[in-house]
Amino acid sequence: MPKLLAHRPGSGLSLVKSDRPGFLNKVKKGGVDDSRPKKKLSIGNAAEKKKQKSLSSGASQGLVFNTGIGQHILKNPLVINSMIEKAALKTTDNVLEVGPGTGNMTAKLLERSKRVIACEVDTRMVAELHKRFQGTPLYSKLDIRIGDVLKATLPAFDVCVANLPYQISSPFVFKLLLHRPIFRCAVLMFQQEFAQRLVAKPGSKLYCRLTVNTQLLAKVDHLMKVGKNNFKPPPKVESSVVRIEPRNPLPNINFQEWDGLLRIAFVRKSKTLLAAFKQTAVMKTLLTNYRVWCAKHNRKFPEDFDMKAKVEAVLEECGMLQSRARSMEQEDFMKLLLAFNKAGIHFS
């Protein structure tokens, strides 16, 4: 897995000067991508018009924010301070921030911690961070990493505080929760509906595989709702701040097996488990896995083996033939997984 590229002035950042003084161009895919606002596009060029629509001017900084990659800068200092308070930072903490943008949150984090590791994919924002903090006492505590945080190996850190690009919310949460060494907590800004899914209860309309997986690995609390006008440019959706505290120690469970079970159960969460497991594709996968299990344990695969009957027997033994994923507790899924594994049925 690639590492995030640490950057200090003069370290080879992929920025080149334009022939027009005062502008920076970003090198991308072998070419130069002008970071200035584009001229009005011709009618009929739908792709370019869509791209233009996702760009919003940063006024005072003269920046163009790319909302297409989730650039909605958190501008309200009260919200920023509240998020940092909820993180309960120590002066010895190394803090991970993803998507620092122009550094509004970064500045407050630097004041209260030992070091801030700021991960940013947009080199224009990296330049803004250097411009903002270079020459100040806080600059020596700032560690800027350039790259896609989902593709890179995360550094060790104590706390994560971030106004995340919303399109990476789900993969980033699980990357975070499976990260080692374990961190103390994360205080993250999400799209409101996503945040509500994280804290949903069984029976709720928003209760889903994401809910069960997250709550298996962490204690999750909804802290506050944040309106659109607290951002620049304003997003189209409402936002919420969530605090995530990893469970330590983690449950002694194979997460791939666990997630495999949940994928089947939540394909149609309102259907019974029996109906979910009787799907042809599911049965085929479970049968393949059972053959592998038999081979590993030196057991002869029965010629008259009936996977449907075996699955039904496990569900009946657990009293879950008519259970539906939407209303099952975490303990119910745990009980079911153990029963399936005991019967030689595996999900990975």
Q: Reduce the secondary structure of 112-128 to three states and give it as a string.
A: HCCEEEEEECCHHHHHH
Strand partners, 218: 246
**CA distances in angstroms from 308 to 46, 287, 338, listed in the order given:** 50, 9, 18
Q: Which fold has domain 1-251?
A: Rossmann fold (3.40.50)
User: Which position has the token pair 């991508």?
Assistant: 33
Annotated binding site: 72, 74, 99, 120, 148, 163
Phi first, then psi: what are they for 171, rounded to 5°? -65, -35
How long, in residues, is the chain? 348
Tell me, what DSSP letter sits at residue 165? -
What gap in Å lies between CA 78 and CA 3, rounded to an integer? 34
Q: What is the pLDDT of residues 28-41, one digit of tens each?
A: 333 334 433 444 44
Q: Starting from the edge strand earliest in sequence, which strands make up the sheet with 24-28, in order?
A: 15-17, 24-28, 31-34
Among residues 165, 20, 163, which one has the least CA distance to residue 96? Answer: 163
Domain boundaries, the chain: 1-251, 255-342
- Provide the annotated binding site for S-adenosyl-L-methionine: 72, 74, 99, 120, 148, 163
* Topology at the third CATH level for domain 255-342: Helicase, Ruva Protein; domain 3 (1.10.8)
pLDDT in tens, 265-278: 999 899 999 999 99
> Would you place residue 25 in the very low, low, confident or very high pLDDT band (cuts 50, 70, 90)?
very low
Instruction: Using pLDDT thresholds of 50, 70 and 90, give the confidence band for residue 11.
Output: very low
